[in-house]
Amino acid sequence: MLSNRLTVILATALAPMLWGTTYFTSTTFLIGGHPLLTATIRALPAGLVLLLIARRRPRGQWWLRSAVLGVLNIGAFFALLFVAADRLPGGVAAVVGGIQPLLVAVLASRLLAERLSGAVIAAGAGGVTGVALIVLQSASGLDPIGIAAALLGAVSMSAGVVLTKRWSVDQPAVALTAWQLLAGGLVLAALTAVFEPLPSVAPTPVNIAGYLYLTLIGTALAYLLWFRGLAALPTRIPAFLGLLSPLVALAIGVTLAYETLTWTQAAGVALVLISIGAVIASSGRTARVP
């Protein structure tokens, strides 16, 4: 039914909207300079909380599948994202990552037999352009390693999204999310131990509140909604809904950080929303709630 489909879409859209609060939360409430540690704290405890709720561990081939999906969707993606953000000018990593919806649509057409239409391709181009208008500040000093990390991050997440859709039939969303967060969190913990020293100061109550928000709301809840939507909708819809993340980040910057909204950014917002709407309109009318 149309109302059921709309409910699933709105619930799925909440995930990237919550992810859009990550930058403000990290820069305002967390201990700075420790991105891998922050990613680990987000993923591992969130996975444990969801595993306690699901009370179900992987069986058979799902041990390997959980590891693969956890690396693609969480571990490798987070690590590559931080490398890209550290080595590229403001907004460039987000623009490169904006190709992800189109990558998902192409992979889904090959692995899931989902139709790749001209409207989806046009929406993908529009989405990238819109994100560029919103976040791109400078194209100078582009670092090849940073660009490669951003591209690999987009490929990693795109592959993870499509494989999750292909493999997750009849798997409970809570358990599926928990397994991936745990697997990805373990990868991030290993990277943190090797490449990043621990903070030299103890966390304050404000820091702890920020970590709790990112873990429980920005990660556990967000990824649960994301994977539920991915199971219920054509893959391209959650992928394009991911473009809402920079819109929320922009809105927070304007309302809480007193940044100025430019006409270029406003045009980017409109273009992103049009792209998302076009993909939703071109998709089917039903949704299956897992």
Report the percent of the chain where pLDDT is more than 70.
Answer: 93
Average confidence (pLDDT) over 207-225:
96
284 — pLDDT class (breaks 50, 70, 90):
low
Selected residue with higher pLDDT from 274 and 261: 274
Average confidence (pLDDT) over 173-181:
96
| Least confident window among 34-43, 90-99, 111-120, 269-278 | 90-99
pLDDT tops 50 at residue 286: no
pLDDT tops 70 at residue 288: no
pLDDT tops 90 at residue 11: yes
What pLDDT shows up at residue 51?
Answer: 97
What pLDDT shows up at residue 5?
Answer: 86
| Least confident window among 7-11, 49-53, 91-95, 160-164 | 91-95
Task: Read off the pTM.
Answer: 0.92
pLDDT tops 70 at residue 107: yes
pLDDT tops 70 at residue 285: no
Work out the mean pLDDT of the chain and round it to a whole number: 90
Beta carbons of 240 and 279 less than 8 angstroms apart: yes
Site of tokens 């071109």 = 282
What pLDDT shows up at residue 89?
Answer: 67
* Domain boundaries defined on the chain: 2-282
Beta carbons of 73 and 161 less than 8 angstroms apart: yes
